[in-house]
Chains A and B, each alone.
Chain A
């Protein structure tokens, strides 16, 4: 990093500190490249951030006000719409909430866990095992979801033949099924149909498998991807406990992003939050006369309230920071993600949710834990399959992630509800209209307390609620995708499914990493070829063999004094 006439010179500038970009920043810094990482917001995490109650309120306000000059905010306003909220007066412990903008459950086996461990970032954060997944049954009641042999055995809701069939399916789902006769030809069949026809699962079991094991979000979700998800999750079960999923402390994705950013900083990454990028200019540096290389691009960024300009060889950015002309220049690494909108709701309650099952196991000599089939939960997932609520959707499933003090998401005695549902068709209904029935159904399960009996208990009301629709950036068209590699990269968008989001961020970060590294190596080579930089360490040939370099034992020093 050399100061050249008021400009900070780095190899890479990354705009946006979402989970994917945070992982990328850490990997690039660890690989030895100079990185400056920026975010418009004063907090880390971007669209994946963990926010306190007050920060969330501010976030909502910023996105509902009229258009703004900054690219970032204009883009955010276009992407977060139909914002409505109901906010009680100031909460005494507003600071102790960690509310995620991207609620996610992290599979115990997968790319994100691998990255957490291989990078060393796992030391920064804590995780909690997801306690339960349940399916909504009727007001106040859920059905437990059997996901293991033990669950199937104990279930009192499945008949004998149903148990056999479900087990047969589960064993199939953990096998290498890609070429098996049961699947061949049915890869694109809607998954629920496949389960009923090929495995003769009854309606209840098919719904449980499709929406609470595979986490399908619509009735048209196809078989092959659903099976692949189930296999991944079944393989994750047991690693840290019965559930395949972990939920990160302090809001999950946002905290994990902070950890990766810190890792990047420790390896030299420069962090600048809370500044608007006022301009991005592209310039071309001609190749030295002796070289056969083509001219290379440089980007120069001006930031508000910042003394120096930033200049870099490679610019990585999410869509929100780029104006249309830059977007058209960008190498957009494609993915198969269809663009989709999601209706979301965040609610704060001060009573715990209780999962009450209308039927429960009652074996002879049963242990005393489940005397009435109900359990209070702190960190759990509630699924509403399509058509389970009269006022709800018949084509989309909604899910509710419940998190409380044990996940450090809320102070003692308080819980967060994160609802989300994909918008399958265009609709004129607001997020609030779409999700209110689901919120009310969830609230019917709050434990009003022992003093009130079931008949006289009033449904509880949240102290704070926020509704909005999140639109995802439109994916590049096939013609955009196959450009020659410039120096401006827009990473692919992540999966929005709650159980896939974090792994998708890690995979996308790695895909982008390799493309960027290729470009950076090329640039260093060009620089080396020009005589001016002889002996300059910063243009040495980088050795990048893997996404994360091996952790040397000397990073943590431990001596007795």
Chain B
């Protein structure tokens, strides 16, 4: 009968699986011991190299073995190899780590090994074109990191890595295209601290180099972040970006305008703790930087506004009660 057959089948499958797993574990432990032995004996042969490959495929978190692998390459294989062989081996390792990253995108040692490979690409292919291999590898690398970010746009390692690649390239794509990249990622999901962070770096660099007009660019980004804020007032990364845009708070009309906008949001969404917190922060900035343009009454009003907001914050965000109390004390000092 239908059901009875199914139960028997499952039991058999389970037993078979158990046997397979036990056999695999035995194999792994044997391999592990073998490789560590070779390392202890400073074995830098091709065979040792191959055994590290097998071990790392099963367990990519073995920092010591990645290190050992690099030692084998540097001390054992590279010295007697043509540059083209070195380049080819490094390319193989780039492929290997790519495969492993697909399964374990956050294991730090895999990223560091990739960096090492890229940094050790020899000059070539020819004397006339010594950067050929390097350029090709960096370009490919950018493509790889984009794939990772497509799979998980919030992978902090991947963003870091992206910056590292752009910094290492001889001819990186223009900052404006990087700006567009951050726009794309933010539009897809603005709950992405890394994307905003990257955007701030790119904009700063573009402003410093005078490549785009700072004023209109800031305005446009205030518009962008305001839209994000109103769409989801609970998203912390948005508020952090806003604070970066505000900067040191030297522009009084700007501060006032932004506080007004946040206040309107708070009126609409009275329980938003980030709104309250930001208003306090910005009003404090006014007090600190622009006291000279304020009357005594105005200053007092700002202080009391902040106080009452902080009292509410203590209530709705009890985990940070101490912080708010501290801020209140600072105010009155």
Contacts and interface: CB of A to CB of B under 8 A. Distances in A.
- A/B: CB atoms within 8 Å of each other: yes
Contacts of B232: 149, 153, 167
A550 B6 contact: yes
B233 interface: yes
A559 interface: no
Nearest to A361: B187
B187 A363 contact: yes
A163 B227 CA distance: 8
A366 interface: yes
A338 interface: no
Interface string B1-14: 11101100100000
A552 B179 CA distance: 52
Contact of B231 (A152, A545, A550): A152
| Main SS at interface, chain B | helix
Nearest to A31: B2
A543 B261 CA distance: 65
A154 interface: yes
Contacts of B227: 153, 160, 163
B164 to A, nearest CB: 22
A161 B231 contact: no
A149 B220 contact: no
Interface residues of A, number: 25
Contacts of A550: 6
A481 to B, nearest CB: 34
Contacts of A553: 9
Contacts of B176: 365
6 contacts: A153-B227, A153-B228, A164-B233, A364-B217, A364-B221, A552-B5
Given A365-B176, A365-B179, A164 B265 contact: yes
Which secondary structure characterizes the binding site on chain A?
A: helix
A481 B232 CA distance: 49
B189 A164 contact: no
Contacts of A364: 179, 183, 217, 220-221, 224
Contacts of B261: 160
Contacts of B9: 552-554
A525 interface: no
B73 to A, nearest CB: 39
Given A154-B187, A366-B183, A149 B231 contact: yes
Contact of A163 (B189, B217, B220, B230): B230
Nearest to A146: B231
B187 A150 contact: yes
B95 interface: no
A543 B3 contact: yes
A154 B180 CA distance: 15
Given A366-B183, A549-B2, A552-B9, A167 B264 contact: no
Interface string B165-176: 000000000001
A482 B3 CA distance: 34
Contacts of B189: 149-150
A168 interface: yes
Interface string A353-377: 0000000000111110000000000
Contacts of A411: none
Closest 4 CB pairs of A and B: A364-B220, A365-B180, A160-B230, A365-B179
Contacts, number: 72
A519 interface: no
Nearest to B5: A552
A291 B268 CA distance: 74
Interface in B153-195: 176, 179-180, 182-184, 187-190
B69 interface: no
Interface of B: 1-3, 5-6, 9, 176, 179-180, 182-184, 187-190, 217, 220-221, 224, 226-228, 230-233, 261, 264-265, 268-269
Contacts of B188: 150
Nearest to A540: B1
A306 B1 CA distance: 34
A22 B179 CA distance: 54
Contact of B1 (A163, A164, A363, A543): A543
Contacts of A367: 180, 183-184, 187
Interface in A535-561: 543, 545, 549-550, 552-554
Nearest to A367: B184
A32 B183 contact: no
Q: Which of B187, B228, B233 has the most CB of A within 10 A?
A: B187
Contacts of A149: 189, 231-232
B220 to A, nearest CB: 4
B231 A163 contact: yes
Contacts of B190: 150, 153
A367 B232 CA distance: 23
Contacts of A528: none
Interface in A116-152: 149-150, 152
Given A364-B217, A366-B180, A161 B224 contact: no
A288 B179 CA distance: 85
B268 A165 contact: yes
Contacts of B230: 160-161, 163-164, 167
A107 B217 CA distance: 42
A168 B233 CA distance: 10
Contact of B2 (A152, A160, A163, A543): A543
> Which of B1, B183, B230, B232 has the most chain A CB atoms inside 10 A of its CB?
B230
A164 B2 contact: no
Interface in A461-515: none
A164 B270 CA distance: 12
Contact of A164 (B6, B183, B217, B269): B269
B11 to A, nearest CB: 13
Contacts of B226: 160
B331 to A, nearest CB: 29
Contacts of B269: 164, 168
A366 B184 CA distance: 7
A365 to B, nearest CB: 4
A550 B2 CA distance: 9
Given A153-B232, A164-B230, A545-B3, 18 more contacts: A32-B2, A149-B231, A149-B232, A160-B226, A160-B261, A161-B230, A163-B231, A164-B231, A164-B233, A164-B265, A364-B217, A364-B224, A365-B179, A367-B180, A367-B184, A550-B6, A552-B6, A554-B9
